[in-house]
Amino acid sequence: MRANPLMVALDTEDREILRTLVDQLAPAVGAFKVGFFPFLLFGWDLVDYIHSRGSRVFLDLKFHDIPNTVANAVEAAARRKVFMVNLHTLGGREMMERAAARVRDLSPRPLLLGVTLLTSMGPREMEEVGLTGTVEERVLSLARLAHDSGLDGVVASPREARAIKDALGRDFIIVTPGVRPPGVPIQDQKRVTTPREAMAAGAHYIVVGRPICQAPDPVAVAREILEELR
What are the catalytic residues? 62
Q: Which helix (H) or strand (E) holds 112?
A: strand 111-115
How far from chain centre, in Å, is Cα 97? Answer: 19
Give the whole-angstrom CA distance, residue 105 versus residue 66.
Answer: 22
Is residue 29 within 8 Å of residue 42, measured between CB atoms? Answer: no
Q: How far apart are CA 107 and CA 93, in angstroms?
A: 24
Q: What is the torsion angle, in degrees rounded to the nearest 10, for the CA atoms of residue 100, residue 77, residue 161 and residue 171? A: 50
Q: Are 114 and 142 in contact (CB under 8 A)?
A: yes
